[in-house]
Amino acid sequence: MTTKATILLVDDDQHLAESMADWLREMSYGVVVAMTIAEARSRLTKQPFDLVLTDLRLGTEDGFDLIAHVRKTAPATTILVMTGYATPDTAVEAIRAGAFDLLTKPLIDEELSLALERALDQRNVAIENDRLRQQLDRRSGMENVLSHDYRMLKIFDVVDSIADARASVLITGENGTGKSMIARAIHNRSSRRSGPFVEVACGALPDTLLESELFGHVAGAYTGANTSRAGKFQLADGGTIFLDEIGTATQAMQVKLLRVLQELQFEQLGGTETHTVDTRVILATNENLAAAVDAGTFRQDLYYRVNVVNIVLPSLRERIGDLPLLVDHFLREASETCNREIERFDDEAMATMEQYPWPGNIRQLENVVERAVLLGRGSVLTLEDLPPELTGRNVDNFQSISSQGNSDGGSSAPVRVGDVSGKSLRDALEGPERQIILQSLKAHHWNRAATADALEINRTTLYKKMKRLGLDDPRLQFA
């Protein structure tokens, strides 16, 4: 027979307790009987119960003491209270103490059965809500970190592994790769998710203001400090603090950070009282801290302290296979925000974006997509809706560049011949020839010897063609 639920029945009337236990077992409940609070506590330590059914008067003991104990040690267990001395105030007090319901003795079978079913239904709903909440918490922070790239999938595994660790985490990568989003994901997947997440851009403030921002200050600490103010470390107590651009911190600030990372203690600016916090520290930088240590601009002891776990985010050009996924996501977001009905980018525009090196990474891609949605005229966005830095049509009025090669030597966009009516063969071929040479130059990082070999022409011929086609201007390398 399947057991509906396990019940701890607590009553000092042995005859009544055994009779009720037999009836509950006939109703397919698993029942354990206790006659004192001490015995009930012992039972609770030996096995979990779905429900506690307890009298309020247990000889000289008070059932409210048991309610408090259950709420503290087994918060998922539902409590039903029964008493022969109920008043309206007793019922209110029991509910406030944590009981689900109060039943009056003598108990009626149907009344008890209904109360048990309602209590267990409510418990099942609470369990399901908690399960769904945990699923949401697990995904929280990652819903915008979209990737099929194996490097990012490994990073997701690392985030799961270190989410609840106390060790500091150093996130490195180029600007715009999503370091802040990964920091939030670590926080949201940890047991600190209900605590605050406090972000500080260390490079945005001078040293004195940064110290006040991080550690707070007391009244009179500096001119204009009329009142005391808590710092970010105090505000992040019980949660996570994210220190971005940590590589910009001065030597003096590095000493203060080393202490707070080691001891989680600090004094406010201008104060003498030592404050202690329970804060998880995540740091990020786009600089090479190991090189900064060698150069003497970053303290070696601080480097080893922050570099316990290092998450290195790849650039967008290293995970270019994710670009269609990211473009689709940003396109839907921008369309909704701008109240535009945009379906997609056409193939030519997508090919151009896939070949662009994206120096600003995902942040730049998001801005490009938003700009295209704002300025696009049709429901399908085209090459004309992309900014000049992607298409090569720049402000210096260079000849139109219909597409660019991938800086890592990726696949090329289709060559466009365009309108050739009224043109000589030489003139008609200039456009495609220029595009082919430009793509090859970019694919070989503007190495002319490698480009000539790839195109199977000699270097002199390449130089002449570059000059004739306007490709010898050095500014084109940065277009």
pLDDT of residue 171: 93
Q: Note down the domain range covering 203.
A: 150-312
Q: Do 303 and 400 fall into the same domain? A: no
Q: What's the mean pLDDT in 56-83?
A: 87
| CA-to-CA dists, residue 160 to 133, 179, 188, 192, 467, angstroms | 17, 16, 10, 14, 55
Q: Do 128 and 51 fall into the same domain? A: yes
11-55 pLDDT, tens digit each? 988 888 898 899 999 888 999 999 999 999 999 999 999 999 998
pLDDT of residue 90: 80
Total of domains in the chain:
4
Residue 270: inside a domain: yes
450, two tokens: 């490698």
Residue 280: inside a domain: yes
Amino acid at 192: R
369-427 pLDDT, tens digit each? 998 988 888 888 988 888 888 877 543 333 333 333 343 334 445 555 555 566 667 76
Residue 141: inside a domain: no
Asked which of 142-151, 176-185, 194-203, 429-438 is least confident by mean pLDDT, the reply is 142-151
User: Tokens 């996501």, residue?
Assistant: 329
User: Tokens 């209110």, residue?
Assistant: 92
Report helix, strand or coil for 285. strand
Residue 399: inside a domain: yes
Mean pLDDT of the chain: 82
Q: What's the mean pLDDT in 224-241?
A: 85
The CATH number of the domain holding residue 368 is 1.10.8.60
pLDDT of residue 32: 93
In terms of pLDDT, which residue wins out, 446 or 129?
Answer: 446
Q: Do 332 and 268 fall into the same domain? A: no
pLDDT band for position 166 (cuts 50, 70, 90):
confident
305, two tokens: 């302290």
Cα–Cα distance measured from residue 184 to residue 88, given in angstroms and rounded to the nearest whole number: 48
Q: Do 217 and 290 fall into the same domain? A: yes
Burial of 69 (0-12, 13-18, 19+ CB in 10 A): middle
79-107 pLDDT, tens digit each? 998 888 767 788 788 888 888 888 888 88
Amino acid at 259: R
pLDDT of residue 339: 84
Q: What's the mean pLDDT in 221-241?
A: 84
Residue 142: inside a domain: no
Q: Do 28 and 103 fall into the same domain? A: yes
Q: Do 155 and 288 fall into the same domain? A: yes
Burial letters for 285-324: b for 16+ Cβ neighbours within 10 Å, e otherwise?
bbeebeebbeeebbbeebbebbbebebebbbbbbbbebbe
pLDDT of residue 365: 92
Angle at 150 between CA 326 and CA 344, to 5 degrees: 20
Amino acid at 448: R
pLDDT of residue 33: 93
Q: To which H or E segment does residue 282 belong? A: strand 280-285
Q: Do 306 and 163 fall into the same domain? A: yes
In terms of pLDDT, which residue wins out, 65 or 146?
Answer: 65
Q: Do 398 and 380 fall into the same domain? A: no
Contact 235, 198 (CB under 8 A): yes
Q: Do 158 and 304 fall into the same domain? A: yes
User: Tokens 């999938």, residue?
Assistant: 153
Share of the chain above pLDDT 70, in %: 87
185, two tokens: 């994901």
pLDDT band for position 475 (cuts 50, 70, 90):
low
Q: Do 114 and 166 fall into the same domain? A: no
Residue 143: inside a domain: no
DSSP conformation letters of 53-77: EEESEETTEEHHHHHHHHHHH-TTS
In terms of pLDDT, which residue wins out, 469 or 428?
Answer: 469
pLDDT of residue 265: 85
Q: How far is CA 24 from the centre of its chain?
A: 48
Q: Do 290 and 154 fall into the same domain? A: yes
- The radius of gyration computed from the CA coordinates of the chain, to the nearest angstrom, equals 34
pLDDT of residue 414: 53
Residue 145: inside a domain: no
Q: Do 155 and 277 fall into the same domain? A: yes
